[in-house]
Chains A and B, each alone.
Chain A
Amino acid sequence: MTEFQQAAAAIYLAAGILALLGLALPAPRLTRIAVWGVGLGALIHGAAFATLHELDSVPQLTDLPYAISFMAWIAVLSLLVLMWRLRLGSLTAAVGPLAFLAVFLPTLGVQSGTDADLLSMRGTMPHAHVLLSSAGLGMLGITGLAGVFYLIEHRRLKKKRLGGRRLSLPSLEALDRVNLATLMIGFPLLTLGLITGSAWVHATSGSYWSGSPHAVWTLVGWGVYGGMSAARFFGGQGARQAAASAVGGFIFLLFAVIGVEMIR
């Protein structure tokens, strides 16, 4: 783990704790500081990726821990972009600690279960596959996170217990816009990740379909998101159902793409 990664992890964690305090007290100033903290963390996190090539033993971005770290970075960046227009500061309370864990994974000894030969393979296609898939997963991660917050806020509004001192969560509309925007970009990225993955398998084995559990589960996960996107964009699905689908879909996708890798 490089010094940049350590610094990014520490800042993400500190920002997450600040945002949690800001959410619980509630203290909007703390939340604002936390947002700036996550921004700083993302900057250092980006620098960590930029300096990877200077290491003696170059870690491959195709290694699972680094792919997860990249996924977290994309998630943080997309959230920061969305925060430009929407009041989403309290999401930092979840994104900060999650990003910390994602950056910290390499030190926890998380290893990829994928064939070592495949992962050590250099070239455009493996990197394109992992980067596109990780970026897609990062975006869809934010879709899922926004979904969790949406369901909490929806429940609070329906229960009508909103008086006195209470958590300050983003508006339902802001969370729904996050759902729409991240699904709209995340799903095509995931699709491109699948296509490049298939091209990668073809380059190594001559077939577009490897038939591995990873490939099967990922394709099922992609199908789930395809269905969700269709319901959202063409089926007039309501915001609450979309939020619930986003949470379920992301848990399933995380298992299909990463969980299956880890349990092999």
Chain B
Amino acid sequence: MKILLLGMSHRSAPVEIREHYAAEDSVAEAALRRLAEHPEIGEIVLISTCNRVEVVVTTQSPEEARSRLKHFFREELGGGTPAPGEGAFDDHFYLHADQEAVGHVFRVASAIDSMVVGEPQILGQMKDAYRGSIELGTCGPILSRLFQKAFATAKRVKNETRIAQRPVSVARVAVELARQIFEDLSDKKALMIGAGEMIEAALFALKREGLDSLRVANRTRPRAEELAARFGATAHGLEDLDALLKDSDIVLSCIGGQGHVLDAARVTRALSARRNHPVFLIDIGVPRNIDPAVDDLDSAYLYDIDDIQGIAFSNEEERRREASLAETIILEEQERLAGWMVSLKAVPTIRQLRARAEAVRQGELGSSLSKMDLSDAQTKRVEALTRSIVNKLLHRPLARLGAQTEQDQGLAVVEEARALFGLDDSDAPGAEVDSELDASESEPVPAKTLKDDDDEVGSAR
């Protein structure tokens, strides 16, 4: 059984192409059902986010499965037409098999492959994709194990590295800086100057920090009122700035127009009115809204867009450095999963080898005994002798196969054993028992019976 992953992400394809293949849920669901009907495709999980579209499958026939997946993208997700400006298929798609595919899924879940390294959304999106496949009935024991392991790996990466600790967005950096100045943001007052998208993002971030006293001041009051209403803030015109400044602990400005909205004299007056209690000013306007001289005031901490982006960039660098630590964790988990995959193949191999040897022994013994005139006691002795010979011959290979499930090269040894003993050869002696074995092993393990104590998703299955 092989694992294949075919897909595209922000690294391999621009948004115009990604959006072409990002089908709506209902369309994707129907397409997945149709894909599952093909014999070369085993289990399926489809991951579709704004930054990636990937399908992970298990297969016994990798070549056919690969063609089928290409067809799935082109015809089912892409609606039979290439995306505008799309070149050759391989230009934007990547295909990973087995350990490469496992590593890729682990990296995606751990947010190492994300546009913003360490971002938390991808894990939730992957859990949703996994749940969707379980509900659709396309996820079986192998992909179930793979995804459970991916979630556990992501958890380890989050806990054991600092990959998600430092904020990288302007709004989050501003909030973290505010927490360096103020002990508790919930009792602070914030003043937003402007009513654009950045102000909206900042309002969202501050609200999430528990800051309730929010005020929005803008040139056009109706826009301020509209934004304020959505966040439970109060709306003001710019003429109220002096009064608002006096009791504002956090001031965030992003408003158009030339000239400084706040100058040093104005802030000095506000500071003396608030008995020099510190004020944190964030100026993300271009051109700048707040006079840089304000930063010379002892109790005023002024950060402009370059300062904030400089911090965000350093934090992003830090996250990337942490990603190399995360790679070590991913490799460890990948090896553990590989051990499990080998055991999946080793156990049937051992069983098949035993069954074939027994079939050969019985066949040869039956034809020989019919030509000999032996007493019951002699027959039993010959039977015991042949059984003993077979057991002794098989003991070492079987013990070795069992032990290989724990080794890095385990799968290669299992493959070698299958080739040596001709286990995939239907004409080999004893092959007639394979069909009986297949019948007893073809029942897949239901996903809900799989054990995994590392992840909370297990409870949802």
Q: Give the B-binding residues of A (Cβ under 8 A).
A: 86-87, 153, 157-158, 160, 162-165, 169-174, 177, 236-241
Contact = CB atoms under 8 A, between A and B. Distances in A.
A259 to B, nearest CB: 31
Contacts of B156: none
Contacts of B272: 236
Contacts of A164: 166, 314-315, 317-318
Given A86-B183, A158-B301, A236-B275, 9 more contacts: A162-B311, A163-B312, A164-B315, A171-B181, A172-B181, A173-B183, A238-B299, A239-B276, A239-B299
A238 B272 CA distance: 9
B298 A160 contact: no
Interface in B268-284: 272, 275-278
A87 B181 CA distance: 12
Nearest to B180: A171
B182 interface: yes
Interface string B170-181: 000000010111
A236 B299 CA distance: 12
Interface string B309-326: 011111101100000000
A239 B177 contact: no
28 contacts: A87-B183, A153-B180, A157-B177, A157-B180, A158-B295, A158-B301, A160-B303, A162-B177, A162-B180, A163-B312, A163-B313, A163-B314, A163-B315, A165-B162, A169-B180, A171-B181, A172-B180, A172-B181, A172-B182, A172-B278, A173-B181, A173-B182, A177-B183, A238-B298, A238-B299, A239-B277, A240-B299, A241-B298
B364 interface: no
Interface string B257-295: 000000000000000100111100000000000000001
B135 to A, nearest CB: 39
B75 interface: no
Contacts of B278: 172-173, 239
A153 B180 CA distance: 8
7 closest A-B pairs by CB: A163-B314, A238-B276, A163-B311, A164-B314, A164-B318, A173-B183, A174-B183
Contacts of A153: 180
A236 B276 contact: yes
Contacts of B183: 86-87, 170-171, 173-174, 177
Contacts of B162: 165
B242 interface: no
B92 to A, nearest CB: 34
A163 to B, nearest CB: 2
A157 B181 contact: yes
B454 interface: no
A174 B185 CA distance: 12
A163 B166 contact: yes
Nearest to A171: B183
B64 interface: no
A193 to B, nearest CB: 30
Contacts of A173: 181-184, 278
A94 to B, nearest CB: 19
A146 B310 CA distance: 28
Contacts of A86: 183
Nearest to B309: A163
A158 B295 CA distance: 8
A241 B275 CA distance: 13
A238 B299 CA distance: 7
Contacts of A237: 276
A127 to B, nearest CB: 37
Contacts of A177: 183
Nearest to B319: A164
Contacts of B179: 171
A241 B183 CA distance: 19
B307 interface: yes
A241 B184 CA distance: 22
Contacts of B299: 238-240
A169 B181 CA distance: 10
Contacts of B317: 163-164
A157 B314 contact: no
Nearest to A241: B298
A163 B181 contact: no
A160 B318 contact: no
Interface string B184-215: 10000000000000000000000000000000
- Interface centre among A153, A157, A160, A239, by most chain B C-beta atoms within 10 angstroms, is A160
A179 B448 CA distance: 58
Contacts of B295: 158
Taking each of A87, A163, A173, which has the highest tally of chain B beta carbons within 10 Å of its own beta carbon?
A163
Contacts of B177: 157, 162
Contacts of B275: 236
A164 B321 CA distance: 10
Contacts of B276: 236-239
A172 B276 CA distance: 13
Nearest to B271: A238
A28 to B, nearest CB: 10
Nearest to A174: B183
Nearest to B168: A163
Contacts of A87: 183
Contacts of B314: 163-164
Please indicate which of the listed interface residues A153, A173, A237 has the most CB atoms of chain B within 10 Å of its own CB: A173
B327 to A, nearest CB: 18
A238 B298 CA distance: 8
Nearest to A242: B276
Interface string B104-117: 00000000000000
A163 B298 contact: no
Contacts of A236: 272, 275-276
Contact of A160 (B166, B311, B315): B311
B180 A163 contact: no
A228 to B, nearest CB: 15
Contacts of B301: 157-158
A165 B318 contact: yes
Contacts of A171: 179-183
A157 B182 CA distance: 12
Which of B180, B184, B298, B314 is the most central at the interface, judged by chain A CB atoms within 10 Å of its CB?
Answer: B180
A240 B299 CA distance: 7
Contacts of B181: 157, 171-173
Interface in B88-104: none
A171 B176 CA distance: 11
